[in-house]
Amino acid sequence: MNEINETLFEIKGGFDISKKLKPLHGADGDIIGYETSEGHIIRLVVGLEIENTKTNQFSYITSEDAMSILGFKSLDYSDLTFLPQ
């Protein structure tokens, strides 16, 4: 018996990003992240928000291992890019 349902997702949103951050471009020219003046790289990631309904506290996970423990196996999200302005 197959106990897994493939579920696709779409995320739309935006950030106000400081002009001090340097855009990083992929091979196709898309913005894939930003670099800080200290050399740190900032990229988009997929994460899960977990709400404790007893305490109204929230936690966030981005680790594929932690997601898998909760029953979320990552398939593919290789197209995470910032949209052109």
pLDDT of 55 reads: 97
- The residue behind tokens 């949209």 is 83
pLDDT of 75 reads: 64
Asked, for residue 56, whether it belongs to a domain, the answer is: yes
pLDDT digits (tens, 9 = 90+) for 45-82: 888 999 999 999 999 998 888 988 998 887 666 667 77
* Residues 37, 59: Cα–Cα separation, whole Å: 29
* Residues 32, 16: Cα–Cα separation, whole Å: 16
Asked, for residue 46, whether it belongs to a domain, the answer is: yes
Asked, for residue 48, whether it belongs to a domain, the answer is: yes
pLDDT digits (tens, 9 = 90+) for 61-70: 988 889 889 9
pLDDT of 45 reads: 84
Asked, for residue 63, whether it belongs to a domain, the answer is: yes
Structural domain total, the chain: 1
Q: With contact defined as beta carbons under 8 Å apart, do 61 and 50 qualify?
A: yes
